Amino acid sequence: MVIQWLGHSCFKLTESTGTTVVTDPYGSYIGYKMEPVTADVVTISHYHKDHSAVNNVQGNPQVIDSVGAWEIGGVGITALQSYHDNDNGAKRGQNNIYLYRMDGIDICHMGDIGQELTVNLGESIGSVNVLMIPVGGNYTIDAQQAKEYVDFLMPDIVIPMHYKTENSELDVDGVDGFIDLFDEDQIVYVEGETIELDREKFEGDSTKVYVFSDKKF
């Protein structure tokens, strides 16, 4: 399968069968414009304008924005309820966490998770190979809280998202504070915005942090 970072919390996930999923498309409100993309499915973690710009996704995709389970084009999708803040949603509402099963790889997109890790939530997410998690703080969990999720879930790969980039106008921290919580040999700097994954290549001995190039963002 292929993962392409489209900026902010938006990724395009492509299974070997050709089925494509786009997560949390965003509007230019964040400081830069999302390039148009085509997909079969769009998943929305919550309806804030930096996560729900469905009009930027072409191809008449099926939009998923609620808790439940689906199988679309051979891709398994499960949405779990969580909160955008640590007060049971009183400040910013609910947030959907999405679990995808693609080419035998389990991927978790945490959306705008704002609540601290609990054992119940961690166990509901379960075992994942790839964890996409916000690290910028303020509107979401911060770097240290994100590290707690990583330590509990122990994914093969973690991809930080929702952090300050050069063109971002959001009041969030950059990615360095999260990177600094890991050993140097755990960090993989990706040239560009795309990686191709094969389940058989996962080493399983320690988590790797994949940091995509953010020159465009």
Q: pLDDT tens digit string along 47-61? A: 877 888 899 999 999
pTM of the model: 0.95
Whether residue 77 is contained in a domain is answered as yes
Whether residue 217 is contained in a domain is answered as no
Whether residue 186 is contained in a domain is answered as yes
Domain range spanning residue 51? 2-211
Query: Which is it for the CA torsion 179, 181, 182, 183, positive or negative?
Result: positive
Whether residue 216 is contained in a domain is answered as no
Whether residue 143 is contained in a domain is answered as yes
Q: Any idea what the CATH number is for the domain that residue 187 is in? A: 3.60.15.10
d(CA 204, CA 83): 30
116-141 pLDDT per residue, tens? 999 999 999 999 999 999 999 989 99
- What's the total number of domains in the chain? 1
Residues 6+ apart with CB under 8 A from 97: 45, 79, 80, 81, 82, 108, 109, 110, 111, 113, 125
Whether residue 65 is contained in a domain is answered as yes
Q: What is the pLDDT, as a whole number, of residue 152?
A: 97
Q: State the DSSP H helix or E strand holding residue 79, giving kind and residue range, or none if neither.
A: strand 75-83
